[in-house]
Structure 1
Amino acid sequence: MQSKNGSEWVDFGKFLIKLIIFMALLRTFFFAPFNIPSESMQPRLLIGDYLVVSKWSYGYSKNSVPFQLPIIPGRIFASDPKAGDVVVFKAPPTARDDYIKRVIGLPGDQIQMIGGILHINGTAVPKKKIADLVIPVTQNMIDASIETDSFPCFSPQYEEKLENGQSQCRYPQFEETLPNGRKYKILDVVADGRGDDSQAFIVPEGHVFLMGDNRDRSEDSRWPAVEGGAIGIVPMENLVGKAWFSVFSTDGSASWIMPWTWFSATRAERIGEGF
């Protein structure tokens, strides 16, 4: 006869198995978390932002499944993204790491950068100067600059010292309007940057052309895919999902051993922002 104690452990084990299955199904077919580790999608996304990604938006493939288990053949329930969507995907050439970029070109589109102006199918995309982006220098920006041997504000010329001893970054900011009417903000901080002029790319069938909103700090479809760097033109099968909304944001100053800093480090104004 099984003891009451043993029965409780069996029930608890069954509960854990059910919970794991439920979470795996949720993670595979509905939602996925994603955090922002770099500045490539400024101004929309900052280091320390945490997002929810909708998994159903573009269909499912092995890249939808935890550990990329090959249980889904090809891409099922497929739906193409729209120009302007912000997407999470498995980055070529290895398809191991999750990246986030904006969809600029769809199959059949011709994409080219000329003098810092995006051209789609031979037509210049309107690019309007708007108010500068001004953001405080945060701990996670400092940490990222140390890892990449760079400056928190990309270059000292964009850093402003404040009277309280802290610093902020001021970047030139623009608004682009795609042919479908989708508007979004970009940063263009380097005149004649290496990505400001490119060849004309024709997006193949079943692929998308992706770019970061921070044009001078994004390794994207403007260059051939290199592990840990640029991504080339990305197969739609690599799409994981569509950025849905921000669920949390931190400036990186929190310490696990000082719980009160968990609240002071939170950027509450960024929580709940949609795409």
Structure 2
Amino acid sequence: MNQSTEALPAAPSVAPSVARLAPHRSDGVVSTVLVTLLIALIVRTLVFQPFTIPSSSMEPGLVIGDYIIVSKFPYGWSRASAPLNPPLFKGRLFARAPARGDVVVFRHPARPNEAMVKRLIGLPGDAVQVRRGAVYINGRPIRQTPVGEVRDHDEPEHIVQQVIETQADGATYLTYDRGDGRPGDDTGVYVVPPGFYFMMGDNRDNSLDSRWAQPEGVGLVPEENIVGRAEVVLASWRPGTALFKPWTWLAFQPDRFLKRVR
């Protein structure tokens, strides 16, 4: 019995292909990184810059661990606006005067690498004095309204009086007072010269500010040392949070997220 067979088609002859990889080009990556860094530098210099609050001097508005955003454009720009405070020029470009009551970030006059945050109390030409804990501007007191005692946010072992201060234009903010007879509760008259500002912390009995001369305090702050205006608390972590301690990263203070600085 003849068995028919069907021949299978021959496999096509295919020349082996050689995969040629394009040489790795790092110049595009480097260019992207450089452009990104340049944009970040421009933003930090001209628009916004983040800061972390390291002390309690601006309680209760700002507390230790707050991560704040500072805007650069409200007051114009100076050498203090740029990272590392380079000696580019003197004075301010497109200068606009800060307002009394603004929360201002500035470079310490004696230690320009150190950024500080305080409330602007005295403008050029103002006469500033503190009497029994009340702040007087040109002989008139900033109105104070006590609103009850609480535990200090960062030092809960201390009981403090909360006091609302009301500026002449109606702007209000909350301060802390630890009682009468504290250092800085009674001062002489400070006359603020042109080109300078008088700064105070809201935690009045726990702030080294313009009430004290350098190097112990801040003294009067030159206009060109101003970095910008504090706008918002973007986020906040409890004290003790550290980059290299991952178990501390979730120590949020949730009530302080996206909190406007007043």
Please state which band the TM-score falls in when normalised by the shorter chain: 0.7 to 0.9
CA contact (8 A) 1:60 1:72 kept: no
RMSD across aligned positions (CA): 1.8
| Pairing 1:250-269 to 2, within 5 Å after superposition | 250-254=237-241, 259=246, 261-263=248-250, 265-269=251-255
Residue 68 of structure 1 aligns to a residue whose secondary structure is coil
Structure 1 equivalent of residue 199 of structure 2: 210
Q: Relative to structure 1, is the Cα distance of residues 256 and 36 closer, same or farther in structure 2, using a 3 angstrom cutoff? A: closer
Q: Relative to structure 1, is the Cα distance of residues 195 and 258 closer, same or farther in structure 2, using a 3 angstrom cutoff? A: closer
Structure 1 equivalent of residue 190 of structure 2: 201
Percent of aligned positions with the same letter in both sequences?
37
Does 2:173 align with 1:184?
Answer: yes
Does 2:96 align with 1:79?
Answer: yes
Please say which structure displays the higher CA radius of gyration.
2
Which of the residues 188, 213, 224 maps onto 1:237? 224
Residue 225 of structure 1 deviates from its aligned partner by 1.9
Residue 253 of structure 1 deviates from its aligned partner by 4.8
Q: Relative to structure 1, is the Cα distance of residues 126 and 261 closer, same or farther in structure 2, using a 3 angstrom cutoff? A: same
Does 2:85 align with 1:68?
Answer: yes
Which of the residues 217, 234, 249 maps onto 1:247? 234
Whose helix proportion is higher, 1 or 2? 1
What whole-Å deviation, never above 9, does each CA across 1:251-270 have from its counterpart, x for those lacking one? 1354657746422x101210
Paired residues in the alignment total 241
CA contact (8 A) 1:83 1:180 kept: no
1: CA distance, partners of 2:205 / 2:61: 15
Structure 2 equivalent of residue 175 of structure 1: 164
1: CA distance, partners of 2:178 / 2:228: 29
Letter paired with 1:203: V
Letter paired with 1:245: V
Letter paired with 2:191: I
Structure 1 equivalent of residue 111 of structure 2: 94
Structure 1 equivalent of residue 9 of structure 2: none
Residue 249 of structure 2 aligns to a residue whose secondary structure is helix
Which of the residues 19, 22, 27 maps onto 1:4? 22
Letter paired with 1:20: L
Q: Relative to structure 1, is the Cα distance of residues 201 and 255 closer, same or farther in structure 2, using a 3 angstrom cutoff? A: closer
Which of the residues 113, 116, 120 maps onto 2:137? 120
Which of the residues 46, 51, 67 maps onto 1:50? 67
What whole-Å deviation, never above 9, does each CA across 1:140-197 have from its counterpart, x for those lacking one? x5xxxxxxxxxx44xxxxx2xxxxxxxxx53211111112221111111031111011
Letter paired with 1:195: G
Q: Relative to structure 1, is the Cα distance of residues 128 and 61 closer, same or farther in structure 2, using a 3 angstrom cutoff? A: same
Q: Relative to structure 1, is the Cα distance of residues 48 and 18 closer, same or farther in structure 2, using a 3 angstrom cutoff? A: same
Q: Relative to structure 1, is the Cα distance of residues 74 and 125 closer, same or farther in structure 2, using a 3 angstrom cutoff? A: closer
Q: Relative to structure 1, is the Cα distance of residues 255 and 92 closer, same or farther in structure 2, using a 3 angstrom cutoff? A: closer
TM-score (normalised: structure 2) = 0.86
2: CA distance, partners of 1:128 / 1:40: 20
Residue 135 of structure 1 deviates from its aligned partner by 5.3
1: CA distance, partners of 2:29 / 2:208: 47
Structure 2 equivalent of residue 271 of structure 1: 257
TM-score (normalised: structure 1) = 0.82
Higher deviation after alignment, 20-29 or 181-190: 181-190
Residue 21 of structure 1 aligns to a residue whose secondary structure is helix
Structure 1 equivalent of residue 148 of structure 2: 131
Q: Relative to structure 1, is the Cα distance of residues 256 and 219 closer, same or farther in structure 2, using a 3 angstrom cutoff? A: closer
2: CA distance, partners of 1:96 / 1:260: 31
What whole-Å deviation, never above 9, does each CA across 1:197-245 have from its counterpart, x for those lacking one? 111111111111100001111111111121xx41111111100000010
2: CA distance, partners of 1:200 / 1:135: 29
Letter paired with 2:210: S
Higher deviation after alignment, 48-57 or 172-181: 172-181
Structure 2 equivalent of residue 18 of structure 1: 35
